[in-house]
Amino acid sequence: MTIKHIEEYRDPDTSRKIIDRIQNISKSKIRIMEVCGTHTMSIFRSGIRALLPNTISLLSGPGCPVCVTAQNEIDAFIELSRVDDVIIATFGDILRVPGTQSTLQKEKGYGGDIRVVYSTFDALDIARRNPGKRIVFLGVGFETTAPTIAASIISANEMGLDNFFVFSAHKLVPPALEALLETDNVRIDGFILPGHVSVIIGTKAYTPLFEKYKIPGAVAGFEPIDILQAVSLLIEQIESGHPRLENAYIRAVTFDGNKKAQKIMHDVFETVDINWRGMGTIPKSGLKIRKGYAAFDAQREFDILVPYSKDPKGCACGEILTGMKIPPECILYKKICTPMDPVGPCMVSSEGTCAAYYRYHS
Amino acid sequence: MCLAIPSKIVKIENNMGTIDVAGARRKVSLLLLEDAIVGDYVIVHAGFALHKIDESAANEALKILREAVSRVEGRD
Amino acid sequence: MKTNKILLDHGSGGKISHSLITDIMLPIFDNPILSQLNDGAIFDVEGKRLAFSTDTYVVDPIFFPGGNIGDLAINGTVNDIAMCGATPLYLSVGLVIEEGFSLDDLEEILKSMSIAAEKACVKVVTGDTKVVPTGVADKIFINTSGIGLIPESVDIASHKARPGDKIILSGSIGDHGITVLTQREGMTFDSSVISDSAPLNHMVNGMLCVCNEIHVLRDPTRGGVGTALNEIANKSNAGIRIYEEKIPVKDEVAGICELLGFDPLYIANEGKLLAFVDPDRAGDVLAAVKDDEFGKDACIIGEVISEHPRKVFMQTRIGGTRIVDMLTGEQLPRIC
């Protein structure tokens, strides 16, 4: 493949040299957590784990938005899909996630009008073409996705659409990192920080966290060389005892981030405390639609009351998301819980740690 | 999460740009960018351009990385 | 979470389709020919070995760059028969048409079927047409079945892969699946990718002329190359190793896959084959594939290994190793 700004970062020769360097400098046993599902996927797909010395453990954190969406939110999505005049528009990731009783994919099979889109603008198109229906976009994602959804709400407002709604289940990364570091029994020596979340929020968003915890961090891109370089930088920091907040994704990430996207996100959303699957409620880690745009808030438009639902019995997704367990340590893994018949969200999303382990790990 | 890949802007109309990824083209919204011109490489996520790649910074960073790893090899 | 209804996943060609076939269908129709689960059934009639196959086409959209549902239906069954090592001879065509369907479109589809049949040197010798009320079917569905004759010395089946065998892939992967996908609502891309829908029987004939000891042939349609290799590894009780850098993927297909979060290894092909061949003969067979008009980009992508039976491994471009699992259900665009 010859895609510019990708090809260079998949070069076998450079990769090998970085791996050599990692082999040379790695001495003590360290645990590095990636907090982005696309990093998890990329690490597995390029077979990076097998190339690293056994001193390095890579843990997958709460970086897959589908995986951290609370079960009662999934149940609410399913309830909404059963409302007569509703068309659900969603990214594909969420379709197979099991709620307490069902999945959106099953609801689709039972006649629910559920459409997978590539962009929120496609959902606006559906709303325009179906004036007699109410279109609900399922807002699942982190800071990368939230501004695109905010922009679509602003556009819907400008277009005067009265049948477009967003169910905001968005989550924010920095508060989750802090929650992780505050959790007992969690041992993380350094973070590979998410690439495209950081495109929006900039490296400055991690400064307070870094100042408080002095935890080594490196923002990374998604190609093998990006990830290897970040791992190498983190090992250097940890071995030398000089933690830093580094940017290993210079072509895409700046200190300030994308200010215009931040403003649009801020104009439409305000922060709220929100429940993360497996992690409980994290203060100011969610996004709720502001009063000014309340007309587009699905939670206001629809009276969907879903009781707090418990995570499935035996499912260790919570411990896996916080790095306390790896998938083979879960009693359900590969026995009851498989990609064909997933129990917990980490097995459903292709970016989920369990699914990645199942698919790519021997 | 957050799939996004570098794509080249080949056309701009109003707030929509046409991007090209190895020959495949699609319209994306430029609402989240301050300034973008035809020929820029942008990072696209879910139908929106999120960031304009600074080519010189990208090339410089790659050069530094390559030099750094070559030095390691030279020393060994 | 079990379901008591059929979902689209059941038709994806991946694991969920497999469990429908093996858990529900096979026990009902169980017989030694069916249970081999090859692309086509292979059996003897009066001393001749025949291959018999059927396939139903419901592609949406029905017209797409590089073909339409008609030539796809001809090529698909021709290829299923060819993958048994047989020379396809006669085909049947069954049409289910939705009331209100355009006669011009029907004519165009039938004409392309005729051209495709001619190209593949097969004859459509019987057929059936049904019309159903609006909404009961989506525009048009086509079933084709066909039979072919297997030359005496040929013995091809998906359980015959042997350690050491080289794996030949006849060209770039994912072209058909990406072409069709990018025509759908909400997923549209402008691209010059066209479906690779093509008859492969002449290619197979050319391969068998240079070497009649091809062990396995498979056209990686639904579920893609990744799923096809897993099926072969399972049935042959052998391990498979492939090399990421050897697998041809067109730039545009790779780009669209990157944007949508798809793995080209699981995208459908309609004019490609995988061949498992003795290492000593692989060069000759590869040359024969490349001689065919649809095999110009053919290459060897890996080999069968004795370790890790029933698993498919891929050596990645940076030198790592990962498992290539079978597709589970439909690939969904991964965005958030």
Residue from the list B1, B24, B45 with its beta carbon closest to the beta carbon of C189: B24
**Percent of chain C's residues with pLDDT above 90:** 79
Q: What is the pLDDT of residue B38?
A: 96
Same domain, A159 and A81: yes
The DSSP result for C112-162, as a single string, is HHHHHHHHHT-EEEEEEEEEE-BTTBSSEEEEEEEEEEE-TT----TT---
Same domain, A44 and A179: yes
Q: What is the pLDDT of residue B76?
A: 43
The DSSP result for C81-106, as a single string, is HHTTT-EEEEEEEEEEEETT--HHHH
Residue C65 phi/psi, 5-degree rounding, is -55, 125
Which tens digit of pLDDT belongs to each residue from C297-313? Answer: 999 999 999 999 999 99
Q: What is the pLDDT of residue B73?
A: 52
Q: pTM to 2 decimals?
A: 0.90
What is the ipTM for the molecules in this complex? 0.89
* CB A290 within 8 Å of CB A148: no
Q: What is the pLDDT of residue A1?
A: 47
Find the closest chain B residue to A3 by CA distance. B22
Cβ distance A10 to C317 less than 8 Å, yes or no, reads yes
Q: What is the pLDDT of residue B1?
A: 38
Same domain, A136 and A184: no
Which tens digit of pLDDT belongs to each residue from C191-208? Answer: 889 999 999 999 999 999
Same domain, A124 and A108: yes
Judged by a CB distance cut-off of 8 A, whether residue A173 touches chain B is: no
Same domain, A105 and A157: yes
Contacting residues for C321 by C-beta, under 8 A, at least 6 apart: A47, A50, C313, C314, C315
Cβ distance A92 to C333 less than 8 Å, yes or no, reads yes
Provide the residue type at B24 as one letter: A
Cβ distance B22 to C193 less than 8 Å, yes or no, reads no
Rounded-to-integer distance, Cα B11 and Cα B17, Å: 6
Q: Extract long-range pairs of A265-273: CB within 8 Å, 24+ residues apart.
A: A265/A143, A265/A146, A265/A147, A265/A150, A265/A200, A267/A150, A267/A154, A267/A292, A268/A149, A268/A150, A268/A153, A268/A154, A268/A293, A269/A146, A269/A150, A269/A168, A269/A170, A271/A172
A110 interaction partners in chain C (CB closer than 8 Å) = 5
Given a cut of 50, is residue C236 above it in pLDDT? Answer: yes
Q: What is the pLDDT of residue A2?
A: 60
Judged by a CB distance cut-off of 8 A, whether residue A157 touches chain C is: no
Same domain, A135 and A280: yes
Rounded-to-integer distance, Cα C84 and Cα C38, Å: 8
Rounded-to-integer distance, Cα C164 and Cα C169, Å: 16
CATH of residue A220's domain is 3.40.50.11750
Catalogue all structural domains in chain C, each as residue range(s) with its CATH number: 8-150 (3.30.1330.10), 166-323 (3.90.650.10)
3-state DSSP call for residue A243? Answer: coil
A5 interaction partners in chain B (CB closer than 8 Å) = 6, 41, 53, 58
Pure H helices in chain A:
12-25, 37-45, 65-68, 71-81, 104-109, 120-129, 146-159, 173-182, 195-201, 207-213, 224-240, 259-268, 298-301, 317-321, 345-348, 353-360
Same domain, A31 and A80: no
C252-286 burial string, b = 16+ CB within 10 Å, else e?
Answer: bbbbbbbbbbbbbbbbbbbbbbbbbbeeebbeebb
Residue from the list B1, B5, B25 with its beta carbon closest to the beta carbon of C258: B5
Residue from the list C188, C254, C335 with its beta carbon closest to the beta carbon of B46: C335
Judged by a CB distance cut-off of 8 A, whether residue A66 touches chain C is: yes
CATH of residue A262's domain is 3.40.50.11740
Q: Crossing angle for the helix pair A224-240 and A12-25, nearest 10 degrees?
A: 20
Cβ distance A196 to B70 less than 8 Å, yes or no, reads no
Cβ distance B24 to C190 less than 8 Å, yes or no, reads yes
Judged by a CB distance cut-off of 8 A, whether residue A334 touches chain C is: no
Q: What is the pLDDT of residue C91?
A: 98
Given a cut of 80, is residue C102 above it in pLDDT? Answer: yes
Same domain, A275 and A229: no
Nearest to A163 by CA among A295, A343, A29: A295
Judged by a CB distance cut-off of 8 A, whether residue B24 touches chain A is: no
> Structural domain tally of chain A?
3
DSSP symbol at A42: H
A222 interaction partners in chain C (CB closer than 8 Å) = none
Given a cut of 50, is residue B71 above it in pLDDT? Answer: yes
Which tens digit of pLDDT belongs to each residue from B11-67? Answer: 999 889 999 988 888 889 999 998 899 999 999 888 899 999 988 888 888 888 888
Cβ distance C323 to A361 less than 8 Å, yes or no, reads yes
Cβ distance C322 to A92 less than 8 Å, yes or no, reads no
Rounded-to-integer distance, Cα A90 and Cα A120, Å: 8
A122 interaction partners in chain C (CB closer than 8 Å) = 185-186
Cβ distance A1 to C7 less than 8 Å, yes or no, reads no
Confidence category of residue B75, pLDDT binned at 50, 70, 90? very low
Q: What is the pLDDT of residue C1?
A: 47
Q: What is the pLDDT of residue A304?
A: 81
- Sorted by where each begins, the domain ranges of chain B are 5-72
Same domain, A350 and A242: no
Q: What is the pLDDT of residue C10?
A: 85
Q: What is the mean pLDDT of chain C?
A: 93
Q: What is the pLDDT of residue A163?
A: 97
Domain of residue A341 covers 317-360
Same domain, A293 and A325: no
CATH C-level class of B5-72:
mainly beta
CA atoms within 13 A on the CB side of C118: 6
Rounded-to-integer distance, Cα B6 and Cα B12, Å: 17
Given a cut of 80, is residue C31 above it in pLDDT? Answer: yes
Low-confidence ranges of chain A (pLDDT < 70): 1-3, 362
A104 interaction partners in chain C (CB closer than 8 Å) = none
